[in-house]
Structure 1
Amino acid sequence: MMVFLGICACGGLGAVARFVLTVSIKQWWKHPFPLPTFIINIIATFCAGVAAGAYAQLAVTHPTYLLFVTGFLGGFSTFSTAINEIVTLARKGKTPLAAAYLAATMLVPLLCVTGGWLLAGALL
């Protein structure tokens, strides 16, 4: 029960962190490319890779892994928002930007997770 409650609390913290970071970036980013969501998902996937690598190396316990990945990163990352932003860009006639964002949203997180795994493996 404590892990469940911890995941709920960490998810809430992740959502608050996402909100604060989004608002902070939007204060200076005025271009159509959805940079706040992209940065958040890059951070989240890299951290997920580090966490998965650490868990695979038995450096963290399963409950700790769940609190961070399922809880905090689950609340922090925002794949559904990214997909909605892609559709919105396309509907506004910004098809090349939507296609570029789609490609970046699929490819860059894969590289980030891989980099996180590699970093965890090198450090642990």
Structure 2
Amino acid sequence: MTTFLAVAACGGIGAVTRFVLNTSIQRWWNRAFPMSTFVINVIATFCAGIAAAAFAYQTVDHYTYLLFVTGFLGGFSTFSTAINEMVSLARKERFGMAALYCTLTIGVPLLCVAAGWELIALTQA
């Protein structure tokens, strides 16, 4: 039960962090491209790559990994919002922007996970 509550608390902290960052970015970015969700997901995937490598190289324990990845990053990242934004762009007939956003939302986070993993891997060599 303690683990459940700890993951829930970390998820709440992640969600509040996402809200603050989302609001901050939206204040200065007022264009069609959904920059705030994109930035949040890029940060989350980079951190997930770091966490996965740290866990794989046994520099963090399972509990810490669980709290950070499942809890904090689970509350912080927002793939469902990204998908909704893609659909909204398409419904507004902004097909080029929707395609670009889709491509970047899938491609860049893959690179970020790899970069985060590599960052930790380099410190283990």
TM-score (norm 1): 0.98
Question: In the aligned structure 2, how far is the partner of 1:103 from the partner of 1:116?
Answer: 20
How many angstroms apart in 1 are the aligned matches of 2:123 and 2:74?
24
Matched, 1:69 2:73: no
1:1-124 → structure 2 map (5 Å cutoff):
1-124=1-124
Quick one: distance in 1 between partners of 2:50 and 2:103?
A: 23
Structure 2 stretches lacking a partner, 5+ long? none
Q: Distance in 2 between matches of 1:57 and 1:6?
A: 24
- Structure 1's unaligned 5+ residue stretches are none
Kindly state the Cα deviation for residue 2 of structure 1 after the two structures are TM-superposed: 1.8
Displacement of 1:37: 0.1
**Could you say what secondary structure the match of 1:59 adopts?**
coil
- Which aligned segments of 4 or more residues in structure 1 are displaced greater than 6 angstroms? none
Q: Supply the distance in 2 between the matched residues of 1:120 and 1:68 (Cα, whole angstroms).
A: 16
1:4-25, Cα deviation, whole Å (9 max, x unpaired)? 1110000000000000000000
CA-to-partner distance for each residue in 1:80-114, whole Å, 9 max, x for gaps? 00000000000001000000000001100000000
Distance in 2 (CA, whole Å) between partners of 1:67 and 1:2 is 11
RMSD: 0.6
Q: State how many pairs are aligned.
A: 124
TM-aligned CA deviation for residue 122 of structure 1: 1.2
- TM-score, with length taken from structure 2: 0.98
Identical amino acids, percent of aligned pairs: 62
**Structure 2 residue matching 1:27: 3-state secondary structure:** helix
